[in-house]
Amino acid sequence: MNRRTFLQWASSVSFLAASPVSSPAPAKHSITTKPIIKTNEVIPAIGMGTWLTFDIPPDSPQRPDRIEVLKAFFESGGTLIDSSPMYGHAEETVGYCLQQMAHESPLFAASKIWSPIANIGIQQMGNSESLWKVKPMDLMQIHNLVAWKKHLPMLREWKRQGRIRYLGVTTSHGRRHEDLEQLLKQEQFDFVQLTYNIDDDRTEKRLLPLAQDLGINVIANRPFQRGGLIDRYKDKPLPALATELGCATWAQYFLLHTISHPAITCAIPATTRVDHMKENMATLKLPLPDQSTRNEMRKVFHQTG
């Protein structure tokens, strides 16, 4: 699927049906979803990350708080939860919360393999299944390209067996972009995860267009730069453009810009607070801005900062 075909096809699906915005936002409509290119399955354009926020030990008194965060996520229409064995207790905490909730909401379970040793990668996959109590895992990713040559054949076999539904590869913090670009050209993936936000657009010139050309779904990590964007802008007045777009907070402004890029399937902000989860997920109810408005959003962002 080339880029032109991707854009023509994408324009017909639900996440663009809410018409691009260049004027005040209309009344409420259904949440923004985006398609998984190879199957046409749709997922909400905002998911949930777990790095640091869900890394709490089993005896922590904070565990019940995470249950409430997860409830707010599902009640707001969320499905995709992303984790990794690198994130300490995060997978264990997610699994605990899911069991305590006895949730019936759709779940898109995404985790990773993070090891230079193939056999440990196999163990990590088994651990994820056990901790999440989910089979099949929806998405298994090679974390930060670590030992991808060892893990990719195994992921392909798991996908063939139905043990996972999709396979992917990740990077973050703007690292190893050239290596990632070559890998995407060389091998077949369903998903790629990378850093993209209103202030970090390094992937816009090559990686995002390449993903569109190859028909690869993109998960955007660090949409708030690990809270850095929120810290920088929390005391600055919200611009008039944000109000016109329906954004009540800077967080919604940042997320709306990220998920409105046509190559981005899902952004995965992380939080420990129910109110922040509801705030983030409310962005799904806003119409997506067109490219001209997105450019203006970034211009206003830099002018305000």
174: left (phi over 0), alpha (psi -120 to 50) or beta: left
Question: How many Cα atoms occupy the beta-carbon half-sphere of 64 within 13 Å?
Answer: 1
CATH of domain 42-304: 3.20.20.100
Residue 22 confidence (pLDDT) above 80 = no
* pLDDT tens sequence across 241-283: 999 999 999 999 999 999 999 999 999 999 999 999 999 999 9
**Structural contact between residues 284 and 14, judged by C-beta atoms closer than 8 angstroms:** no
- Residue 177 CB coordination number (10 Å): 16
Query: What is the enclosing helix (H) or strand (E) of 192?
Result: strand 191-195
User: In sequence order, which ranges of the chain are alpha helices (DSSP H)?
Assistant: 3-10, 63-75, 90-101, 118-132, 148-161, 177-186, 207-214, 228-233, 240-245, 250-259, 274-281, 291-304
* pLDDT tens sequence across 176-197: 999 999 999 999 999 999 999 9
Calculate mean pLDDT across residues 55-76. Answer: 96
Residue 168 confidence (pLDDT) above 70 = yes
Relative to beta strand 164-170, strand 191-195 is parallel
| Residue 305 vs residue 5, higher pLDDT | 305
Chain position carrying tokens 């992937």: 203
Joined together, the tokens standing for residue 247 give: 């954004």
Q: Per-domain residue ranges for the chain?
A: 42-304
Residue 15 confidence (pLDDT) above 90 = no
Chain position carrying tokens 């900062």: 305
Relative to beta strand 33-35, strand 42-44 is antiparallel
Tell me what percent of the chain is helix, strand and coil, each rounded to the nearest 5.
45, 15, 40
Residue 129 confidence (pLDDT) above 50 = yes
* Nearest residue to 91 via CA among 66, 72, 74, 116: 66
User: Which residue(s) pair with 186 in the sheet?
Assistant: none
